[in-house]
Amino acid sequence: NGNVIDGKAVAAKIREETAAKVAELKAKYNRVPGLAVVIVGQRKDSQTYVRMKRKACEEVGIASFGADLPDTATQEEVLSVVRGFNANPDVHGILVQLPLPKHIDEQAVLGAISVEKDVDGFHPLNIGRLAMKGREPLFAPCTPVGCMELLERCGIPIKGKRAVVVGRSNIVGMPAALLLNKRDATVTICHSATKDMESIVRQADIIIAAAGQAQLVRGSWVKPGAAIIDVGTNPVDDKTKSSGYRLVGDAHFEECKEVAGAITPVPGGVGPMTIAILLKNTLESGERFISGKLQSSAAPSKRGQKGA
Residues with a known catalytic role: 53, 97, 120
For 177-215, the DSSP string reads HHHHHHTT-EEEEE-TT-SSHHHHHTT-SEEEE-S--TT
For ligand NAD, the closer of residues 113 and 210 by Cβ is: 210
Provide the minimum distance between the beta carbon of 290 and ligand NAD in the complex, in angstroms, as a whole number: 28
Provide the minimum distance between the beta carbon of 221 and ligand NAD in the complex, in angstroms, as a whole number: 12
- Closest residue by Cα to residue 266 from 288, 248, 287: 248
Q: Residue ranges of the alpha helices (H) in the chain?
A: 7-29, 44-60, 75-87, 106-112, 124-131, 142-153, 173-182, 197-201, 253-259, 271-290
Output the residue with the shortest Cβ distance to ligand NAD: 169
For ligand NAD, the closer of residues 114 and 282 by Cβ is: 282
CB atoms within 10 A of CB 11: 25
In the chain, % helix, strand, coil (3-state, to 5) comes to 40, 15, 40
For ligand NAD, the closer of residues 54 and 191 by Cβ is: 191
Provide the minimum distance between the beta carbon of 159 and ligand NAD in the complex, in angstroms, as a whole number: 25
For ligand NAD, the closer of residues 269 and 290 by Cβ is: 269
Provide the minimum distance between the beta carbon of 21 and ligand NAD in the complex, in angstroms, as a whole number: 23
For ligand NAD, the closer of residues 41 and 212 by Cβ is: 212
Report the C-alpha gap between 143 and 265 in whole angstroms.
15
CA atoms within 13 A on the CB side of 186: 8
What single DSSP character describes residue 117?
G
Report the C-alpha gap between 161 and 91 in whole angstroms.
39
**Residue ranges binding ligand NAD (CB under 6 A):** 143, 166-169, 171-173, 190-192, 194, 197, 210-213, 216, 231-234, 270-271, 274
Report the C-alpha gap between 13 and 50 in whole angstroms.
22
Residue 202's identity, in one-letter code, is R
Residues 6+ apart with CB under 8 A from 247: 233, 234, 235, 236, 266, 267
Provide the minimum distance between the beta carbon of 215 and ligand NAD in the complex, in angstroms, as a whole number: 11
Contact in structure between 34 and 64 (CB atoms under 8 Å): yes
Provide the minimum distance between the beta carbon of 209 and ligand NAD in the complex, in angstroms, as a whole number: 8
For ligand NAD, the closer of residues 158 and 197 by Cβ is: 197
